[in-house]
A and B are shown apart, each in its own frame.
Chain A
Amino acid sequence: MLSLIWKDFYINRSQLVFPAIVLCAIALLAAMGRSSQAAVDYAVPLLFTYSGMMVPFFALNSAMLEEKNRTLAFLRSLPMSTDAIVASKFVAPLLVGALWVGASALAAIIMKANMGENPVSIMSGMLLVCATLPVAAIELVVFFRFGASAARTALIVTVGAVYLVPLLAQGLVAKMRPVVTAMMDPQPVQTLLFAGGSLLLYLAGMLIAQAIFRRREP
């Protein structure tokens, strides 16, 4: 399976370049002592935005490349299990998310060291990445059942629902405020519990996708 994960990283490498450049630029500016409040005001939202995009868009791009190249049949003809093929599609984006959290944490530490205060909550970044795991899981299950176009639609619908549901539930807004506040600067225990729950949902999605792919004929 390692070769499959490496393959997914390699064919999607262009997707990782720009976020990596952004992180390096932020870390470099902070290390050179050139960070300012204005830079932090731009860097922090950018980090959060990418945190919400990395996992689901990496998964979607990986799925779309397989469909564009029609390589799922090629992979099935090789001596590898169908479960490993599916698992790699889940593990690679998860690793990307983990790497992003680690790299963002490093950038945040550098920024804190040079600015004297913590401009970015490492835990909130990790929380945001974990929140996207169920979204990516839905998208990948839909990919293995219906194809990449349907997966793209599923991503759009799921992300839209995540934004729309709180707006529609107006009466719950006041009750959501403590939750939102906690998300902006979560405690480690809250983050770990949330991460555990997201990972369980992600794993469940992977098992469902494996069952679907075993039955599907290329």
Chain B
Amino acid sequence: MSENVLTLDGVCKSYSGFDLRGVSFELPRGYIMGFVGPNGAGKTTTIRLIMDLARPDSGRITVLGKQMATNQIELKRRIGYVPENHEFYSDMTVSWTAQFVGRQYPNWNEARFGELLRRYDVDPRKKVGALSKGTRAKLAMALALAHHPELLILDEPTSGLDPVVRRELLSDLLEFVADGDRSVLFSTHITSDLERVADYVTFIVNGQVVASDEREAMLERARASNPTASIEDLLWTYAKGGR
């Protein structure tokens, strides 16, 4: 059994009007986990807790074998993170942004970044503020991949992207984990993306994890009663309170 690159154990966080309650799941090394739930389920909150952008009220979060809170700089150097909103300095160019980000990562690979920009068709001379939403998403992805991370954490990475770019991005995720050493956690509410790439799926509804298992095992169990069951059907069932 591969070691776990990410472990959440009983993680709780309260905000006014929303509670994350007892979130627990594990991501083994070398696999892709889809983190799926309806809007407002707590996907982004969970990811922010993993990235130490918020602090849990209780529970433990272990990333790459260490606690994020006390090792955040070292761990963030080994993680590629793409947030839901891609905020950069809008008056700066893509290449300036890359230079600034690259200085923070010892493993930054300028050639790899250039290759990714060419593949994603992003002009490095353009100002970030002039990029479309989809192009900014591609830039964020290139920045996350260029320093050869061990773990990729993506918050709704395909949201707002056209189908061609979505398929390219999903292929990149498969290529990323191909060596068996790197892992991906990506949150989404687009269940068709999960059908394509996810090895594991964790469902979160109303701040609680309702299921977390291998995708194929989940579908096999669901197809015992519904031969055509899909991830979307499972999400629908869980969102309506079923199990």
Using a CB–CB cutoff of 8 Å, the interface residues on chain A facing chain B are 3, 7, 10-11, 65, 68-71, 73-74, 76-81, 217-218
- A interface SS class: helix
**A73 near B76 (CB under 8 angstroms)?**
no
Using a CB–CB cutoff of 8 Å, the interface residues on chain B facing chain A are 48, 51, 53-55, 72-77, 81, 83, 85, 87-92, 96, 100-101, 103-105
CB B74 to nearest CB in A, in angstroms, measures 8
Q: Pick the contact of B89 from A71, A73, A78 — CB < 8 Å? A: A71
**B54 near A217 (CB under 8 angstroms)?**
yes
Residues of A within 8 A of B53 (CB): 73, 76-77, 217-218
Complex: chain A residue closest to B105, CB-CB: A79
In Å, the complex CA distance between A81 and B88 comes to 18
**A79 near B104 (CB under 8 angstroms)?**
yes
**B73 near A79 (CB under 8 angstroms)?**
yes
Residues of A within 8 A of B76 (CB): 77-79
Residues of B within 8 A of A65 (CB): 89
CB B17 to nearest CB in A, in angstroms, measures 15
* A11 and B83 in contact, given A80-B104, A217-B53 (Cβ under 8 angstroms): no
**A69 near B104 (CB under 8 angstroms)?**
no
**B77 near A73 (CB under 8 angstroms)?**
no
**A74 near B55 (CB under 8 angstroms)?**
no
Residues of B within 8 A of A79 (CB): 72-77, 104-105
**B83 near A77 (CB under 8 angstroms)?**
yes
Residues of A within 8 A of B104 (CB): 3, 78-80
In Å, the complex CA distance between A217 and B13 comes to 12
**A11 near B85 (CB under 8 angstroms)?**
no
In Å, the complex CA distance between A218 and B54 comes to 8
**B101 near A217 (CB under 8 angstroms)?**
no
* A77 and B100 in contact, given A70-B87, A217-B53 (Cβ under 8 angstroms): no
In Å, the complex CA distance between A154 and B51 comes to 32
CB A74 to nearest CB in B, in angstroms, measures 5
In Å, the complex CA distance between A78 and B78 comes to 11
Which of the listed residues A69, A76, A77 has the most CB atoms from chain B within 10 Å of its own CB? A77
CB A215 to nearest CB in B, in angstroms, measures 9
CB B71 to nearest CB in A, in angstroms, measures 10
Q: Pick the contact of B83 from A10, A69, A73, A217 — CB < 8 Å? A: A73
Residues of A within 8 A of B85 (CB): 70, 73
CB A103 to nearest CB in B, in angstroms, measures 25
Complex: chain A residue closest to B86, CB-CB: A74
* A73 and B91 in contact, given A79-B105, A217-B53 (Cβ under 8 angstroms): no
Residues of B within 8 A of A70 (CB): 85, 87
In Å, the complex CA distance between A69 and B103 comes to 20
Complex: chain A residue closest to B83, CB-CB: A77
Residues of A within 8 A of B83 (CB): 73-74, 77
In Å, the complex CA distance between A68 and B89 comes to 9
**B87 near A74 (CB under 8 angstroms)?**
yes
Residues of B within 8 A of A11 (CB): 89, 91-92
CB B95 to nearest CB in A, in angstroms, measures 13
